[in-house]
Amino acid sequence: MAAVGTISPEDLDLVLFTDDPMEAITHIRKYITDNYRIRKRKPSWWLLEKS
């Protein structure tokens, strides 16, 4: 896909081929923590979430 220009070459760094679920989870968590700010949200009463 990168060769024909449908994705950028940098996107290939996002792909991980593995048979190990923990390795996949670690890869996803690293991407999220490196690229997004995670913040705790207040529970929603209409979803019956407890505080």
CA dihedral 13, 19, 23, 25 (to 10 degrees): 90
- The residue with tokens 């690293």 is 30
- What is the pTM for the complete model shown? 0.59
CB contact at 8 A, 11 and 4: no
Mean pLDDT along residues 5-25 = 92
Q: Would you list the domain boundaries of the chain?
A: 1-39
* CA–CA dist 8, 3 (Å, integer): 9
pLDDT at 44: 87
Torsion angle of C-alpha atoms 34, 3, 18, 14, degrees rounded to 10: 10
Q: Is the pLDDT of residue 16 over 80?
A: yes
Report pLDDT digits (tens) over 18-51: 999 999 999 999 999 999 988 888 888 888 888 7
